[in-house]
Chain A
Amino acid sequence: MKYLQLVVANLGRHKLRTVLTVASVALALFLFASLRSVTTTMAAAAQFGGARRLVTLNATGLVFPLPLAYGNRIKALPGVTGLSWANWFGGRYGDGKNFFANFAVDAESYLALYPEIVMPADQKQAFVQDRTGAIIGDRLISQFGWKLGQNVTLQGTIFPGDWTFKVDGVYHPTDPAIGDNVLIFHHDYFDERIGRAGIAGWYIVEIDDPSRAPAIAKTIDDLFRNSSSPTKTGTEREFQASFATMWGNVSFLMSTIGLAVVFAILLVTANAMMMSARERTGEIAVLKTVGFSDKLLFTLVMVEAGAMALTGAAIGLGGATLLYPAIHFNGAGFLPGFKVATSTLIFGALVALGLMLASGLVPALRAARLPVVQALRKVE
Chain B
Amino acid sequence: MALVEIRDVYKSFQRDTQKIDVFTGLTLDIEAGSFTALMGPSGSGKSTLLNLIAGLDKPTRGSVTVGGAQVSAMSPGQLAAWRASNIGFVFQSFNLLPVLTAYQNVELPLLLTRLSGKERIERVKLALDVVGLADRADHYPRQLSGGQEQRTAIARAIVADPTVMLLDEPTGQLDAKSSQEVLALLQRLNNEFKKTIIIVTHDAHAAERSKTTLHLEKGDLIEKPRAMAGAAR
* Chain A contact residues, CB within 8 Å of chain B: 2-3, 5-6, 9-10, 12-13, 282-283, 286-296, 372-373, 376, 379-380
Contacts and interface: CB of A to CB of B under 8 A. Distances in A.
B81 A293 contact: yes
A294 B99 contact: no
A6 B98 CA distance: 11
Contacts, number: 73
Contacts of A290: 83-84, 89, 108-109, 112, 156
Contact of B54 (A3, A12, A13, A289): A289
Contacts of A296: 80, 112
Interface in B87-116: 87, 89, 91-93, 95, 97-100, 104, 108-109, 111-112
Looking at A286, A290, A380, which has the most chain B CB atoms within 10 Å of its CB? A290
A286 B99 contact: no
Contacts of B168: 380
Contact of A2 (B77, B99, B111): B111
B138 interface: no
Contact of A373 (B57, B77, B109): B57
Interface of B: 51, 54, 56-57, 76-77, 80-85, 87, 89, 91-93, 95, 97-100, 104, 108-109, 111-112, 117, 156, 168
Give the interface SS of chain A, mostly helix, strand, loop or mixed.
Answer: helix
Nearest to A8: B99
Nearest to B83: A291
B92 to A, nearest CB: 6
B51 A373 contact: yes
B99 A13 contact: yes
A10 B112 CA distance: 18
A6 B101 CA distance: 11
B51 A282 contact: no
B76 A292 contact: no
12 contacts: A9-B97, A286-B95, A288-B56, A289-B56, A290-B89, A290-B109, A290-B156, A291-B81, A292-B84, A293-B76, A372-B56, A372-B57
A283 B97 contact: yes
Contact of A291 (B51, B85, B117): B85
